[in-house]
Structure 1
Amino acid sequence: MTKSTTRPAGRGRPIVTSHAEIERRAFELFGERGFAGTTMADIAREVGVGTRTLFRYYPSKNDIPWGQFDQTLIHFRRLLTSQSEVIPVHEAVHRAVVEFNRFPADSQPSHRDRMRLILRTPELQAHSVLKYAEWRIVIADYVALRLGQDPGGWLPLAAGHVSLALALTAYERWLDDPDADIVDAVEQSMASLKDYLQAAS
């Protein structure tokens, strides 16, 4: 996406129309007013666009903390399918989930701020359940493909649920420790997937 530099009448800042800038400014408002106290109209005014324009980027305020989630899931599928079929399926899932959770240290909003909002904001929990389901399906599809099973079978579905639980466990510990590294946390947590898949398959 590109940024427009056309200045609206009566405003000193340029119109901004990038996902990244919308998220950055939205998180500034969330920090100042709280998530519940910030409206899409507030974000639109801060960004310098109309509310209807903002809704074309994000269907709801709840979608903003998740960023361009559809694109991240495409990336996740690619990480999984790029794993060598020589390595066991549990190792492939492990490696892909770890790689999926590598983020630039200078990202804005920071990954820590983003995940703290997603995991610890009551108003977001129902929406997050939908996002978690989409993430689990990516793993279930891959495990089913590797094992020649139905994606709706118990093992692919369980692999998705277990992987999500392990990743969320890593994030909870990471958020509680400002010195922790999320990649290390996910690496340690996902290591237990090996025993689960080996015992179940």
Structure 2
Amino acid sequence: MTLGGEDAVARPRLGRAPTTTHAEISHAALRLFIERGFDQTTIDDIAREVGIGRRTLFRYFPSKNDLPWGDFDALLDRMRAHLASMPDDIAMMEQLRIAIVEFNRVPEPEWPYHRQRMDLLLHVPTLLAHSTLRYASWRQVVAEHVARRLELPERDLIPQTMAWTCLGVCLAAYEQWLDDGTTTLPDLLDEAFRLIDERIDTKVVQAHRGAQG
């Protein structure tokens, strides 16, 4: 056993302050994943890179699989609050389009990291199973909102179908964005949601009225 525990072993390099934010830790991890490969990069590698110990790193991220996601839970809370703040006279699909586009809008300095992040999450086999858990949390936010608007249980078919549909639209836009660097992700998402917006909103309302008899 070393004196001072594991945090004493992985000391920050001279002249460099320890990294203490989700974003900085996630950025450092992304750089290593791109340079070395996800499976070849260890938690110890990341902890050394940011100048903190394993225990400290795990206070920010429960596992290596969580690192590419950044502070995803905080982003979900923000999207949930954004949806809840919209007036009910805005059509439901329009609310979802606006909130989801904003959810995916990142500052320009973050664009390279976001592209690396989505490339990893969509294409690294090790991450795909974990991604389903994150997607489920995201879908829940959408289903909650649809259920509230239509006064239905969250597990009803309509909210769940809408949540899966929105996720599918996003995944299609992500893939297009990764293949084509000439269009921004928010623009692609906006275009994709507008393709289905009016038709889906009308059909959902009709289905809801039919279910109510």
Q: What is the Cα deviation at residue 48 of structure 1?
A: 1.1
TM-score by length of 2: 0.86
- The answer to which of 14-23 and 181-190 deviates more is 14-23
2:169·2:189 contact (CA, 8 Å) conserved in 1? yes
Q: Work out whether residues 94 and 187 of structure 1, in 8 Å CA contact, stay in contact via their aligned partners in 2.
A: yes
User: Which 5+ residue runs of structure 1 have no aligned equivalent?
Assistant: 1-6
* Corresponding residue number in structure 2 for 1:4: none
Instruction: Determine if the alignment matches structure 1 residue 196 to structure 2 residue 200.
Output: yes
| Equivalent position of 1:114 in the other structure | 117
Number of residue equivalences:
195
Query: Identity of aligned pairs, percent?
Result: 45
Letter paired with 2:23: A
Call closer, same or farther: CA 1:108–1:15 in 2, change over 3 Å: farther
Between Structure 1 and Structure 2, the one with more helix by share is 2
Cα deviation, 1:150-184, whole Å, max 9, x if unaligned, reads: 11100001110000000110110010001111111
> In angstroms, what is the RMSD of aligned CA positions?
1.8
TM-score (norm 1): 0.91
Which residue pairs with 1:85 in the alignment?
A: 88
Give, in whole Å, the separation in 1 of the partners of 2:111 and 2:28.
9
Matches within 5 A, 1:1-201: 8=11, 11-107=14-110, 110-191=113-194, 192-201=196-205
What is the rounded CA distance, in whole Å, between the counterparts of 2:114 and 2:90 in structure 1?
A: 30
Paired with 1:108 and 1:153, the residues of 2 have a C-alpha distance of: 36
- The structure having more radius of gyration, on CA atoms, is 2
Q: Mind listing any 5+ residue stretches in structure 2 that lack a counterpart?
A: 1-9, 206-213
> Residues 196 and 10 of structure 1: is their aligned pair in 2 closer, same or farther, counting only changes over 3 Å?
closer
